[in-house]
Amino acid sequence: MSDASVLNESLQEPAARAPVPVPLQAAPVHANTLSKVLLGLLAAAAVLALVAVLVLWQKVSGMQEQLARQSADAMAQSMEARTLARQAQETVRDTAARLALNETRVAEVALQRSQLEELMQSLSRSRDENLVVDIEAAVRLALQQAEVTGNVQPLLAALKAGDQRIARAAQPRLAPLQRSMQRDAERLQATASAESGETLRKLDDLVRMVDELPPFNAVATRGAGLNPWQAEPVPADAPWWQRALLMVRNEARSLLRVGRIDRPEAVLLSPDQTFFLRENLKLQLLNARLALLSRQFDTTRNELATVSASLNRYFDPASRRVQSAATLLQQLQTQIKTSEAPRIDDTLAALTTAAAGR
């Protein structure tokens, strides 16, 4: 096969495989369909845009109406606020004027009050001073009377009267004075009731016991059960000669007694001297009683010491009555050592402080 034939065949094959040409009438139909679709889409888009515009226009209209109403309300509120502000300013001016007037009146009232307080304080101070002076005079007079007579009742009455006067005055400045007077009155009351009555009762008991105290030379009664010279009992069933011998022996003992005398002045006392000794002891006890009532404690202690010395010197120490009397004397001496004159130091110090105005 020649080259020309091969080239001719290769040129014929593509021609045989080429597509069949489409008729020219189908192309216009397809273009009309696309144009209709596009027009429909454009129309729908236009409708949607129109609807959206209408909706937005309605919203804008509503917003404008709402803004208009709010603006009208704001204007009305603004007008009302301005009116209220003017009224508030007028009220503030009126209040300021009234406040200035009230401050002026308050200043006047404060001035008058300070003047009244000064006047009341001066009157109260003078009244308190007079009250303190009266109470001090009454208390000091009652104290002097108590020191002279030994009776604390007037002093207690003066303290209670002063307490009542201070309570009626109702002055806080005098409260320390009132408390001091109450403490002193309680202490004096306790001391007077506890000491004086008991001491006087013991002195009276001693005065009554003096007549019953056995003297030291009363050998017949001294040392009962311990006397070696006491007569021996004579037995009834003893023979006659033994009874006679015992009787002679007892009679000899009664006639002759031997003993040691340590205090001859006590043994040699006669009955008359014993009587005067008892009376002297009674007088000394009565002097001690009077000295105690007069608050003369040194004199009372001296008298009791003299009575105690006489009791130990002239009376039988083995007797129970003498021992009881000695015990009472010791108790009295102990009580009088602890006794003292009535003292109201707290009240006097409080009176001095109150009189000084502190």
Report whether pLDDT(223) > 50: no
Tokens of residue 274, six digits: 């014993």
Report whether pLDDT(102) > 50: yes
| Predicted local distance difference test score (pLDDT) of residue 3 | 47
Helix residue spans in 150-170 (DSSP H): 153-169
- Give every CB contact of residue 131 below 8 A, 6+ residues apart in sequence: 165, 166, 169, 174
Question: For residues 246-271, b (16+ Cβ closer than 10 Å) or e, as one string?
Answer: beeebeeeeeeeeeeeeeeebeebee
Is 158 part of any domain?
no
Is 149 part of any domain?
no
Query: 165 or 266, which is more confident?
Result: 165
Nearest to 213 by CA among 110, 101, 308, 82: 308
Distance from C-alpha of 301 to C-alpha of 282, rounded to nearest angstrom: 15
Report whether pLDDT(224) > 50: no
Mean pLDDT on 202-207: 86
Is 150 part of any domain?
no
Residues counted in the chain: 358
- Give every CB contact of residue 127 below 8 A, 6+ residues apart in sequence: 169
Q: What is the band of 92 on the pLDDT scale with cuts at 50, 70, 90?
A: very high
Its sign, for the CA torsion 253, 254, 256, 258, is: positive
- Torsion angle defined by CA atoms of residues 189, 192, 193 and 195, in that order, rounded to the nearest 10 degrees: 140
Is 205 part of any domain?
yes
Is 225 part of any domain?
yes
Query: 9 or 240, which is more confident?
Result: 240
Per the CB < 8 A criterion, the answer to whether 312 and 319 are in contact is no
| Predicted local distance difference test score (pLDDT) of residue 293 | 74
Is 327 part of any domain?
yes
Distance from C-alpha of 321 to C-alpha of 327, rounded to nearest angstrom: 10
| Environment class of 124 (CB within 10 Å of its CB; exposed 0-12, middle 13-18, buried 19+) | middle
Is 16 part of any domain?
no
| Predicted local distance difference test score (pLDDT) of residue 342 | 64
Distance from C-alpha of 181 to C-alpha of 143, rounded to nearest angstrom: 13
Is 348 part of any domain?
no
Q: Position of tokens 């508030």?
A: 88
Structural domain including 330 reads 196-252+266-340
Query: What residues form DSSP beta bridges with 53?
Result: none
Query: What residues form DSSP beta bridges with 315?
Result: 215
At 255-302, the pLDDT tens digits run 655 555 555 555 556 777 788 888 888 898 888 888 877 767 788 888
Please give the tally of structural domains in the chain: 1
Distance from C-alpha of 1 to C-alpha of 14, rounded to nearest angstrom: 20
